Amino acid sequence: MAELSQEDLERLAAELGAELQRHGMLLAAAESCTGGWAAQAMTALAGSSAWFERGFVTYSNEAKMDMLGVTAATLARHGAVSEATVAEMAAGALRHSRAQAAFAISGIAGPSGGSDIKPVGTVCFAWATTGGPLRTATRRFDGDRGQVRMQAVAYAFSEMRAALVAMP
């Protein structure tokens, strides 16, 4: 992915917001490794209250369980950085908000914390809409901690928008 800037994130957020408004939907974000960066980029935009409902920063496993209903069994079996966990995070964001669309992000931004199986730069994502399918993906991003986090936010925005564009 090309070098990104905060302005790029805000442009992607604006495009996502326009698509949410086209569908009359509100969005909730469930973030772990991005620590609220997605919410910050969205709320940097004047008028985002028309489509951004709330954000959950669930950095610890306890926060994922307490705020979003991620199960201890999922965390024990798959780990915090897994498609199973982000699927539960996105579903929990829908359940615990007034939003009709949600995305979740959990990853290993580095510089430490990686393993052979889940190296630094591994980020898991989920996207969900009320009454629609829940989709997950895992990506590996290169760069330092900030670059990994920024790429994760951009990917979450782009894929959420793509899912909405594909809706009737």
Cα dihedral 87, 25, 50, 4 sign: positive
- Tell me how far apart the terminal alpha carbons of the chain are, to the nearest angstrom: 29
The strands making up 101-107's β-sheet, listed across from edge to edge, are 52-57, 27-31, 101-107, 122-129, 135-140
Q: Provide the pLDDT confidence category of residue 2 given band limits of 50, 70 and 90.
A: low
Interval 55-87: pLDDT, tens: 999 999 999 999 999 999 999 999 999 999 999
pLDDT of 18 over the 60 cut: yes
Nearest to 152 by CA among 113, 125, 112, 118: 125
The residues spanned by each domain of the chain are 6-165
Interval 82-119: pLDDT, tens: 999 999 999 999 999 999 999 999 999 999 999 999 99
Q: What percentage of the chain carries pLDDT values higher than 90? A: 98
**Calpha distance 157→139 (Å, rounded):** 14
pLDDT of 1 over the 60 cut: no
Question: Structure pTM?
Answer: 0.96
Q: Provide the pLDDT confidence category of residue 44 given band limits of 50, 70 and 90.
A: very high
pLDDT of 38 over the 80 cut: yes
pLDDT of 52 over the 60 cut: yes
Between strands 122-129 and 135-140, the pairing is antiparallel
Q: In CATH, which of 3.40.50.2000, 3.90.950.20, 3.30.565.10, 3.40.50.410 is domain 6-165?
A: 3.90.950.20
